[in-house]
Amino acid sequence: MSRFESFQSSASGVNIQFKGLNQAEISFSNVIAGVLENGQKQEFFNGQVVWRVRREGNTWKIWNITSRPKEKQQSLQKIQTDNLL
Which CATH number describes the domain made up of 4-80?
A: 3.10.450.50
Residue 24 Cα to chain centre, angstroms: 15
Going from N- to C-terminal start, the domains of the chain cover 4-80
Nearest CA among 41, 82, 47 for reference residue 67: 47
Whole-model pTM?
Answer: 0.72
**Is 60 exceeded by the pLDDT of residue 82?**
no
- What is the number of alpha carbons within 13 Å of residue 34 lying toward its C-beta? 8
Over residues 54-80, the mean pLDDT reads 78
pLDDT value, residue 57: 93
Cβ atoms 23, 50 nearer than 8 A: no
Q: How far is CA 68 from CA 35, 47, 61, 82, in A?
A: 23, 6, 21, 21
